[in-house]
Structure 1
């Protein structure tokens, strides 16, 4: 099921394509409720992959078509230029051009530039791109010794202070629980912060945070300016509302001026930027701040398979107090429990490797196999916790001859070949004279600049140039599919807008990216690599709140995958190193869900003998029929090879499957969420009678026992009473498993 076919109840009704109702066609029930709620405060709680951008853009388009919204008086705010550009593109496709979709900074900057001559007078200060140079000068004036890495940390701390609306005077008290930035104590940092501000003032400069602060100041101090802004914008939409900072919320409140024509969209479970000052508090407190607010929950996941969605749900549901020393209460709102709308896919994989090189080499092998099976490289990503982890994956992919792109490296529209191609498209005579469709024109023009239909066999710069131009060709195909009447002028306008917003088209190659930079993106296949303690969660996550954020970051990583999900870790950093690293604690509930045993850790000293404190290796599980050692998680759970005949009562198994179908329908969840087939097979084989016997079955934990245990016992009892005991399958007790 997809969003385009979800609203089956409207199948008999085909509205006029030009009517407002036509915009709502194809939305599911919750998306339709959100899109048709045009007045008053609205809070859309949208889980990963649930179509929040679709719901929001259709809401705006529906409001414009029905005359409730003036497109020029609605401001849609998001957090990245890329997301804003995508929203504008979708609104154009839906027939709602003219709507302002901008980031907080872009919207504030336009207002600041417009009102500066009237509200302040004189020439507006120049905006500095980076703080480091000015901070270095401020540090020298204070005779402070800092290196470039420390300066970056100090710049980040200034940004946090500003978005938290803290002046140098107010920073000291508010930072008592924060780590010392860049190795500088808090009192020295306050002096540096003030010196930096003084330098900016002397040189008539401002930074990006000042854009928000100055806009807030003008709106607070000048009622005429505030009234003009509120007259201009009557309705507001804020995407990714869980990421707003106190400063951004203050600006939003000034824009609203006490009005309640506000729609916010967010998911507290995807709050991963707290270190920048973002907080989910405003999302969580929305109904308290706006008692009349309507709340709509989007939980139908159209992105990922049931297997991927279930692991994401399990990860969030398993949240506990991570360590005894984490004492402070940390808010953890009930997460949205997603329900996949896609067909079943392959089983997610959790693997552990000897060292980082072995892990990266294995990932490269799997990527080659995926490509061979038909998955494009552009639909594969390797995600990791820190940027410093990328090198080993770059090396492995290069050695395997697999193209890749580093997210966050050179910007697509800054590449020489892209600038050359765009210039050629603007000036080519073909553009002016041809009546061909846009995709053919693009191919003809770029062919004269070295593009060919077939990819070059070589790697390096030649391949990168081809991939860049192929991305433009693919973009032309995509836009033409959306708008059949697409003109060359419209395509060039789209390119200019994307260039300004750095909204790059897809490049053919595996994406290497940090988990933070992957937010908002998705791929068919995702490898979550380096899942070791110290990296996930990161070493400096000490408090409960910090560990919780690491869990949410891992959740974001899982929900990037549409179909294939691989999670990997390595015992040692270097080949031949001591395998002292442990897999991430976050993998434990996922292993249990997949029916996998915890990996053993055998620490060998240089002499090769096991350390006295090493854990004893767990016994290998073998097939009860043929004796083969089992490695697949599902086979381990069943205690038999996939090719060996079942050892359970097949009629009882079908009886339990029928019961499971009824329960899953009542709970409105996929059947495997109740129990997997493998778990039902073991239940049918062992026929547990007590809670202890139930808990010894792989796939049955305390929560599932509490939720379904009594019903399963009833089903087993009713089946036994209806069938003679002589027909029961032989029960193999846990202690009789054959081991090697």
Structure 2
């Protein structure tokens, strides 16, 4: 493509960014404004015009998916040879190359997880640690290292109020030293070491620094608002005396300060580079005007110097909806029903997302979607290329390369080969594991069709497809997998969906309860903004007034929601409590143990009606029979056992021994959908195990209905 042809695809602001070649450039790009298009076209324009050599360009971003997308777009523009990587990937590649020269000997292995190392360090210091504490300590260690805090500086500078795990600053300082000792003894590195060591090599070895700077002359940094001090230090070392640097970021999407990220490098870019050219991208091509209006209103009080006022380009759409529910269970069931209705209306599951503040909120939504027969994917779970069915499929494809007839379309070849591992044109009728396996295979088939459809001088072959898979696997750039996405707001950054549900929008969750200072509250606001701007066509905001089983409404909607919807009354916001059945008063769960009289401490105990350490007060033969039935039902449907009924619900059924549908419906955890799906089988088991005939139980069930 000629330089002019490359620019034809851009809007005026994007053209300005693309033509700004040589010297420092700062692109302030709002959500959905086409920053990846602007970056890749800028690189392609400079290469096409002869101003850049592709091999001298290093483009860094923060996720493997974003780096993979950048490489794919550059390839489509006819540009190859550009290094598009994450900070860690770029640093690791350089460190592996220079280790023999700069250090000598065998380079240590990269530790996949910090937990075993932290556990050993804690044991040496005789610290009491469980999985939760170790996770918190891992985050603290990462924060300290990317913030360039040695154990000595950590002890001197860390605010004692912010130290996790109930430890004091001195103890954490000792843990940092011991953790480093454990790594040295085991001869392993963690991910932060990769950045620190590469920066150290370039600082201490002029010959290595010169080699890196002779290789890379032009730098592009995406998501610049999220760089940490160690990443900025490494970037400065890469640049040396040069200033051919283009940074792209959005201060309104700064949401990772807890990892050591700082927006000050973006906000202070022009102070550091006074001759920097600044371009603002504000035309939003992702979301409807109604969604953009909502996002702008959320940040209306933020100074203009720290935000971008988005301008909607798309056609008008639906107004965002606001829904208030009685409790978390009702919210999950209501959203699941709405999602199923969207899918039934023709929206692809992969175009729908359900977002929440913390990962702990996902279980209720998973259960509700499973009960509604809706397939889902939890973002942040097992990586696509690590799944057993994907590994088996790729192994089969490799073995079939020579057997595929010449000229046969890739898509057909892949379909034929994958039939032996379960591929069918029709999706399985159930959700759960079977559906997830099928969706993984469908992602491979769809990618094969995509590779086949790409314009090329010669048709792509199966070997080309496998090469594409290898490249994607090396960078963890997974193809699109069908299924409703469940994700935390942090994990949703950089993604988009046609329809987005933002759930659990109550005080204490949005903003999160531990956000106390003004800056922490504002970061929560920005996180909410990120969630809103993920939606293209429809945006649904919801919250609940209490936990399941709590008859008193002790929650209130988020202050951010109140700003967006200040005048709506409860009646306008609240849908029917249970749309699937007539309204019915919820059975109040007990608050004291039926065996010992002590106060019950959690929801599971209240569902059981007893303390966890008290002997069971249910009919054990019924409970065991229900567990056996649940296991068989879950296996047959390809779903987790808890998606049928939880242990607490089974214990409650075995404790009350319900004789009919109404009595079963009163058991906590038995909603309208589950009553309809499993009620007959459960009542038969109850009747069998207490001596009543199945026929009599069925008759009771019919009479009660």
TM over 0.5: yes
User: Quick one: distance in 1 between partners of 2:182 and 2:166?
Assistant: 22
User: Quick one: distance in 2 between partners of 1:89 and 1:82?
Assistant: 11
Determine whether 1:483 maps to 2:455.
Answer: yes
Residue of structure 2 equivalent to 1:296 = 279
Residue of structure 1 equivalent to 2:604 = none
5 Å-filtered alignment, 1:21-420, equals: 21-176=4-159, 178-318=161-301, 333-420=305-392
1:50 and 1:299 in contact (8 A); partners too: yes
User: Post-superposition shift, 1:178?
Assistant: 4.8
Residue of structure 1 equivalent to 2:693 = none
User: Quick one: distance in 2 between partners of 1:392 and 1:352?
Assistant: 17
| Correspondence for 1:566 among 540, 549, 560 | 540
Residue of structure 1 equivalent to 2:499 = 525
Determine whether 1:510 maps to 2:479.
Answer: no
2:389 and 2:421 in contact (8 A); partners too: no
| Correspondence for 1:555 among 529, 532, 546 | 529
| Correspondence for 2:395 among 423, 428, 436 | 423
For the structure 1 residues 62 and 383, does the alpha-carbon distance in structure 2 shift closer, same or farther, using more than 3 Å as the test?
same
1:591 and 1:598 in contact (8 A); partners too: no
User: Quick one: distance in 2 between partners of 1:548 and 1:239?
Assistant: 22
Structure 2 unpaired stretches of 5+: 575-585, 589-705
1:528 and 1:566 in contact (8 A); partners too: yes
User: Post-superposition shift, 1:83?
Assistant: 1.1
User: Quick one: distance in 1 between partners of 2:381 and 2:47?
Assistant: 39
2:324 and 2:573 in contact (8 A); partners too: no
User: Post-superposition shift, 1:553?
Assistant: 0.4
Count of aligned pairs between the two proteins: 575
User: Post-superposition shift, 1:488?
Assistant: 2.9
Give the TM-score normalised by the residue count of structure 1. Answer: 0.75
User: Quick one: distance in 2 between partners of 1:336 and 1:274?
Assistant: 20
For the structure 1 residues 599 and 69, does the alpha-carbon distance in structure 2 shift closer, same or farther, using more than 3 Å as the test?
farther
User: Post-superposition shift, 1:415?
Assistant: 1.4
User: Quick one: distance in 2 between partners of 1:439 and 1:67?
Assistant: 38
2:226 and 2:254 in contact (8 A); partners too: yes
1:591 and 1:597 in contact (8 A); partners too: no
User: Post-superposition shift, 1:430?
Assistant: 7.3
User: Quick one: distance in 2 between partners of 1:600 and 1:248?
Assistant: 49
1:357 and 1:392 in contact (8 A); partners too: yes
> CA RMSD for the aligned pairs?
2.1
User: Post-superposition shift, 1:449?
Assistant: 3.8
User: Post-superposition shift, 1:600?
Assistant: 10
For the structure 1 residues 430 and 601, does the alpha-carbon distance in structure 2 shift closer, same or farther, using more than 3 Å as the test?
closer
Give CA-to-partner distance per residue, 1:161-211, whole Å, 9 cap, x none: 110101000012221265122211111111111111122223332211111
1:405 and 1:511 in contact (8 A); partners too: yes
User: Quick one: distance in 1 between partners of 2:555 and 2:282?
Assistant: 36
2:102 and 2:201 in contact (8 A); partners too: yes
1:354 and 1:575 in contact (8 A); partners too: no
Give CA-to-partner distance per residue, 1:34-88, whole Å, 9 cap, x none: 1122211111100000000011011111111111111111100011111111111
Give the TM-score normalised by the residue count of structure 2. Answer: 0.79
User: Quick one: distance in 1 between partners of 2:8 and 2:98?
Assistant: 42
User: Quick one: distance in 1 between partners of 2:320 and 2:300?
Assistant: 18
Residue of structure 2 equivalent to 1:456 = 428
2:401 and 2:462 in contact (8 A); partners too: no
Residue of structure 2 equivalent to 1:732 = none
